[in-house]
Amino acid sequence: MKSYKSLLFAPLFTLVFCLPTAKAQQIQAKVTATENGYSSILIPQEFRARVGNDLGILRLKDAKGNEVPFVVKPQEVDTSFFSPLSYERKKNTSDSTEVFLIDHKDRKKNSGYILQVANSENNKKYRIEGSDDMQSWFGIVNNALLTNLKDDNQTFTSKPIHFPPVDYRYIRIVLDDKNSPPIKILNIGEIKNNGATLKLEKVKEISYQQTNNRDNKTTTIAVTKDLWTPIDYFQVYARSPKQYYRTAHTYIEQQKTGATKNNSRQKYSVNEYIQLQSNTGGMYALQELYPNTFFIEVENEDNPPLEIDSIVFYQTPIHLIADLDIKQEYSLQADSNWNTPSYDLSKIDLNLPPNIPVAKVSDIQAHKSDTTREEKGYGNWILIGCSILGILLVFYFGKGLLKDLNK
């Protein structure tokens, strides 16, 4: 009987030891205060690559290993609002166009407007022209296209239109109604803000490769970066064509279950669409957090592929605020096994001065590579396999134990 009891517990021990142990992502750096009091600590990109956007696994510790409370410095909010402009509207039946004329009496330089458009399933071609005397008109934008003119949460949508900076007194926007029904323009205006400047940091460990597929009429940009480094913005510098408007989307590749060697991967779209336009300055935002390799696919349609000189990737820097002593040594650490801490500093208004001393961060050391995310799928399969093995062993030895009891 005793031997059967030992055998009965054996599969349980087997199951426990078969459980996949996730490798913790561990990294630390030395933090040195430059002044006594509250200091700002910039999280290095080496940390961001392992932390991603999960700041809860960060800790700041003193030389004795005690936690030093901190709070994430709030981002400077760019408060924007819509400011409507006065304009004249004229519909030309002779050439099936609708013209919106804007008079800039102050002749200020501008490079775009915001159109508030009643929801529509149509796309609309338009052009933009400028004049100083209402007699001679000069082209600014030609054959541009308004797309995705609907908002599921309200009855209108706001569409930005961009063009090179100009200082014409008169600007007219001409909508082409020849091949599509008219759309309803509710307002034309500008976006004004409180003057806060968005501060960005170039991503260091990153590269990309461009591939043109003429059969599919697409351009694929493969981006490779360090682990889970966040990318908040990227800027495209294209040499040719001078004017373009392309729809692009991002995707990642996942291993396809039961695939052959020749077809071992499949596309997995994350449904993040981007409108690449020559008149926007080439700066675009990304909302998702991507693994170390992801792709941007550009739809060229019948146009020539973009000749891209360079692409620059940015992330929004994140600072921690902590009360530091210039005589003390501190360590900034990250470990994926830690949970989000709860400090008093996050519950009170510190009323900090605008210029906070910046602490020095040095001696960055990564102890283990971050394989938790990559091995998550394999760990699940191991767990399932060990579970099945444990159940079979329990039934096998249990059956023998019952026979022994019956005897």
Q: Return the CATH number of the domain spanning residue range 201-315.
A: 2.60.120
State the pLDDT confidence band at 390, using cuts at 50, 70 and 90. Answer: low
Site of tokens 């134990």: 401
Specify the pLDDT at position 108.
Answer: 84
Which residues contact residue 77 at a Cβ distance below 8 angstroms, ignoring those fewer than 6 apart?
196
Residue 241, preceding bond cis, omega within 30 degrees? Answer: yes
pLDDT of residue 302: 94
Determine contact, residues 90/121, Cβ cutoff 8 Å. Answer: no
Encode pLDDT of 215-259 as tens digits: 999 999 999 999 999 999 999 999 899 889 999 999 998 765 555
Place of tokens 């029904």: 181
Whether the predicted model's global pTM rises above the 0.75 cut: no
How far is 340 from 51, CA to CA, in rounded Å? 12
Q: What percent of the chain has pLDDT over 70?
A: 78
Whether the predicted pLDDT of 18 surpasses 50: no
H or E segment to which residue 246 belongs: strand 245-255
Look at residue 82 in the predicted model and tell me its pLDDT: 81
pLDDT of residue 16: 42
pLDDT of residue 281: 67
Write down the pLDDT at residue 343: 95
Q: Residue 335: what pLDDT?
A: 93
- Taking the C-alpha atoms of residue 308 and residue 162, their distance in angstroms, rounded to an integer, is 20
End-to-end, the C-alpha distance of the chain in Å comes to 12
Tokens 């461009």 belong to 210
Q: Which residues contact 208 (CB under 8 A, 6 or more apart)?
A: 221, 222, 223, 224, 311
Is pLDDT of 397 > 70? no
pLDDT digits (tens, 9 = 90+) for 324-351: 999 999 999 999 899 999 999 988 888 8
pLDDT of amino acid 375: 41
Mean pLDDT for all residues in the chain = 84
Specify the CATH number for 80-193; select among 3.40.50.1110, 3.40.50.300, 3.20.20.140, 2.60.120.260: 2.60.120.260
CB neighbour burial string for 215-237, b if at least 16 within 10 angstroms, e if fewer: eeebbbbebebbbbbbbbbbbbe
Q: Between residues 1 and 319, which one has the greater pLDDT? A: 319
- Residue 374 has a pLDDT of 41
How confident is the model at residue 79, as a pLDDT?
A: 60
What is the pLDDT, as a whole number, of residue 258? 53
Query: In which order are the strands placed within the sheet that holds 283-285?
Result: 201-202, 307-315, 233-240, 283-285
| CA distance linking residue 33 with residue 36, whole number of Å | 7
Confidence of residue 49 (pLDDT cuts 50, 70, 90): very high
pLDDT band with cut points at 50, 70 and 90 for residue 398: low
Asked if residue 33 has pLDDT above 50, the reply is yes
Between 263 and 131, residue with greater pLDDT: 131
